[in-house]
Amino acid sequence: MTAVTDVLSRVVIVGRPNVGKSSLFNRVYGERRAIVEDEPGTTRDRVEADVEWQDVRFRLIDTGGYETDAENVYAPLIVEQIKTAMDGASVVLFCVDARDGLTASDYDMAEVVRRANRPTLVVATKADNERRELTGIAEASSLGLGEPMPVSAMHDINVGLLLDEVIKLLPADTTLVESDRVRVAIIGRPNVGKSMLVNSILGQQRVIVSDVAGTTRDAIDSEVDTPEGSFLLIDTAGIRRPGKLGKGVELHSVMRTTTAVERCDVAVLVVDGTDGVTSQDMHIAGIAMEHLRGLIIAVNKTDLWEDPEERRAWAESQMRGRVTFAPWAMVTFISALTGQGTRDLLKLALVARDARRRRLTTAELNSALNKAIRDHVPPLVQNKRFKLLYATQAGIDPPTFILFVNDPKLVHFSYRRYLERSIREAADFDGTAIKLVFRARSADDARS
């Protein structure tokens, strides 16, 4: 199956914190893809989505709020992200607040936009009545970046008119290329090195990296072509223990991480090699299991090991003892700091994705299951014995098998695992979850 990935023009939304950039992004995109809160500075990284207006497709990019507050540890990192986003922009949407008026940060941001030398539309946000429209236009005009357009993302006022102007500024030579990218979600606890791993693979500061736990809040998509293949990397927020979850932004971050897992082929669980596998790591791995995704456990920070051979043996033994619910998960050892092991990680992601697309013929599947049943007769359950009539593979991504049986209630969970292992032995499904569905069917139906 080949996915189509567009080489799209980029429309970048910029502005100071809390002027409604993410609300505008979500209104255009059509769902709450960017986190929206009344807390300034909620968006830190770039958030991207492909959208369409009047049969024209483009990539919409939300950025962190521009500020130069010396007390904000993220400010310099966010500013660099904004500048990088504008470097590749076809159109810049410079948002200012029509309700609160201009601030010194708006004028500073205007100078940054001016230096970027990109087609720019000034957007006076929160203009939900005539007075705010008029004052917003009057004030924003003083920035010297053209006539502002008043909009209200919350009330969907003038958003369509804004998009009409956007597509007029877009180049007409957007083309389509065929690509088959492996979608990889990087998941894990806070501060285990997820963003650093993404940057190590990309070879650039595409995602903000900080030693402060919880730096990444949104799920960030990055496309990369490597000698190993083409990938879509999804960096996610670190998931804390349930008792440590805060309200608002923290809760939204967990939801975004879960959504990222839902749309990936393979989840890479990054584990701190100095701590080993924790109960929270197992909880996060369970999210990938629940959504039947591929799973790779990447043991990070191996550069800190004084005795690599001894620590590797310890880590492998610990994982075998703790991640018993996913014995098929692949394990690799990396250092996001030095880049060691990242190429092997990408190769494993390809293997896991290929396993998700593997098919068994009906003859191969039934032969493997019948042999398994002969070798290990199903146990009696309430004086009845499970009987397999026949089986077939119903789909891929994940590999899904339907087993027609006399009574699904007679299949004990331990025997279910045994049958799954037998299917895995018949074909190499290492690296991915598989799905077994048991359906009741009479012997007469099976013969007909």
- What CATH number does the domain located at 362-447 have? 3.30.300.20
Span 170-197, pLDDT tens digits? 987 544 444 578 999 999 988 899 989 9
Q: Average pLDDT, stretch 363-382?
A: 92
3-177 has which fold?
A: Rossmann fold (3.40.50)
Residue 4: pLDDT band (50, 70, 90) is very low
Report pLDDT for 343. 93
Q: Which residue has the higher pLDDT, 29 or 401?
A: 401
CB 157 within 8 A of CB 23: no
Q: Give the alpha-carbon dihedral of 400, 403, 404, 406, to 10 degrees.
A: -140
Domain ranges of the chain: 3-177, 181-356, 362-447
Q: Average pLDDT, stretch 113-126?
A: 93
Q: Which residue has the higher pLDDT, 211 or 200?
A: 200
Please work out, in degrees rounded to the nearest 5, the angle formed at the alpha carbon of residue 358 by the alpha carbons of 354 and 361: 165
Give the closest residue to 273 by CA, choosing from 298, 300, 296, 312.
Answer: 300
Span 227-243, pLDDT tens digits? 888 898 988 877 766 55
Residue 69: pLDDT band (50, 70, 90) is low
Q: Which residues of 252-267 are buried (b: 16+ CB within 10 A; e: fewer)?
A: bbbebbbebbeebbbb
pLDDT at 391 over 80: yes
The SS3 of residue 247 is coil
Q: Which residue has the higher pLDDT, 77 or 34?
A: 77
Q: What percent of the chain has pLDDT over 90?
A: 47
**DSSP β-bridge partners for residue 184:** 233, 266
Length of the chain in residues, anyone? Answer: 448
pLDDT at 158 over 60: yes
Please, which residues have CB within 8 angstroms of residue 110's CB and are 6 or more apart in sequence?
A: 94, 143, 144, 145
Q: What percent of the chain has pLDDT over 70?
A: 82
Q: Does domain 181-356 have CATH number 3.40.50.300?
A: yes
Distance from C-alpha of 440 to C-alpha of 128, rounded to nearest angstrom = 58
Mean pLDDT, the chain, as a whole number? 83
Give the closest residue to 221 by CA, choosing from 50, 65, 42, 432.
Answer: 50
Q: Do domains 3-177 and 181-356 have the same CATH topology?
A: yes
